[in-house]
């Protein structure tokens, strides 16, 4: 009999949730960067082997700063997935547990769903024995069903975690076909990949005020034609995204195109432009139009 179920990945921003899921799937489904708010939606990744199918939900990091409407929506999206999973994967960094981690952990208290603690980034530790007192400390904070130290960037780490997750999944047929790896659309992936490239390219300048919409997505044989609209909040930000002589936008678009050609296994023609949507990150109607509601 096969096993199948949902695994929700939760944690504070930038703890390695998307990197972990991408590593398990062996393909980039959820975008990554070292900036908070990189993941803004609950992204579904599907892992399948001979007898098990795990549907991973990679959630936005839970934010303690909830000033904007976007922050509040990200938190609602993250929290809504917690009750969805057959098992919850709570990620922290090795030897680091701060108030943001505590905020997330407090949301799990009283939930009957098994919670696996993943201690990430152990590859950065010079002395692995330092983990033992940290594991003891974490065990006192919460009755974790299992504790798995790993490095999300190392492929071999996934095997140990997968074996642990399988213990908590019910016996049932696979809900998805064996060749599916995500439930999100190709257009959604295109928007996310472009947003990732812009976020990385702009560094500290304005990654939080950028949204990407796909206005046109056509498949013509082995060619994907994509038109993307990049929204910023102020006119002054438009020039930053475009860059001198259009260099910033061109470079980000080129990097996105290369990734998308690899992802779709096809040629991609990607055209992007920038428009001003004033105050979109704190406007409920704008968030709805940009796809950030009821996700």
Angle formed by the axes of helices 247-264 and 235-242, nearest 10°:
60
- Residue 11 labeled ligand binder: yes
Best CA proximity match to 49, nearest among 184, 167, 162: 162
- Residue 279 labeled ligand binder: no
- Residue 143 labeled ligand binder: no
- Residue 13 labeled ligand binder: yes
136: left (phi over 0), alpha (psi -120 to 50) or beta: alpha
User: In whole angstroms, what separates CA 219 from the centre of its chain?
Assistant: 26
Dist. CA 26–CA 116, nearest whole Å: 21
- Residue 30 labeled ligand binder: no
- Residue 14 labeled ligand binder: yes
- Residue 232 labeled ligand binder: no
DSSP single-letter state for residue 224: E
- Residue 240 labeled ligand binder: no
- Residue 59 labeled ligand binder: yes
Strand order in the sheet with 52-58: 43-48, 52-58, 3-10, 87-93, 115-120, 146-149
- Residue 18 labeled ligand binder: yes
- Residue 16 labeled ligand binder: yes
- Residue 120 labeled ligand binder: yes
- Residue 123 labeled ligand binder: yes
- Residue 86 labeled ligand binder: no
- Residue 145 labeled ligand binder: no
Residues contacting 126, CB < 8 A, separation 6+: none
- Residue 124 labeled ligand binder: no
- Residue 17 labeled ligand binder: yes
Q: Annotated binding site, which residues?
A: 11-18, 58-62, 120-123
Q: Annotated binding site for GTP, which residues?
A: 11-18, 58-62, 120-123
């Amino acid at each position: 009999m096969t096993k199948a179920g949902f695994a929700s990945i939760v944690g504070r921003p930038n703890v390695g949730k998307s990197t972990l899921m991408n590593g398990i799937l062996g393909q980039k489904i959820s975008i990554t960067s070292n900036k908070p708010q990189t993941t803004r939606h609950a992204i579904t990744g599907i892992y399948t082997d001979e007898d098990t199918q795990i549907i991973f939900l990679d959630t936005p990091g839970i934010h303690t700063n909830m000033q904007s409407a976007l922050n509040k929506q990200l938190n609602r999206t993250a929290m809504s997935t917690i009750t969805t999973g057959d098992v919850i994967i709570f990620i922290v960094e090795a030897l680091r547990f701060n108030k943001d981690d505590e905020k997330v952990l407090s949301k799990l208290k009283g939930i009957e769903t098994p919670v696996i603690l993943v201690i990430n980034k152990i590859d950065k530790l010079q002395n692995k024995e330092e983990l033992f007192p940290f594991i003891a400390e974490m065990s006192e904070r919460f009755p974790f069903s299992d504790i798995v130290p790993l490095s999300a960037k190392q492929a071999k780490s996934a095997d140990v975690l997968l074996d642990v997750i399988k213990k908590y999944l019910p016996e049932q047929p696979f809900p998805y076909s064996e060749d599916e790896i995500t439930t999100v659309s190709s257009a959604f992936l295109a928007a996310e990949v472009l947003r990732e490239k812009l976020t990385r390219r702009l560094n500290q300048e304005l990654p939080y005020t950028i949204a990407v919409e796909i206005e046109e997505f056509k498949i013509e044989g082995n060619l994907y034609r994509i038109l993307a609209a990049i929204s910023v909040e102020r006119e002054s930000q438009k020039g930053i995204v475009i860059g001198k002589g259009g260099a910033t936008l061109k470079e980000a678009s080129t990097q996105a195109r290369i990734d998308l050609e690899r992802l779709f296994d096809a040629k991609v023609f990607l055209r992007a432009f920038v428009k001003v949507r004033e105050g979109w990150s704190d406007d409920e109607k704008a968030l709805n139009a940009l796809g950030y509601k009821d996700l």
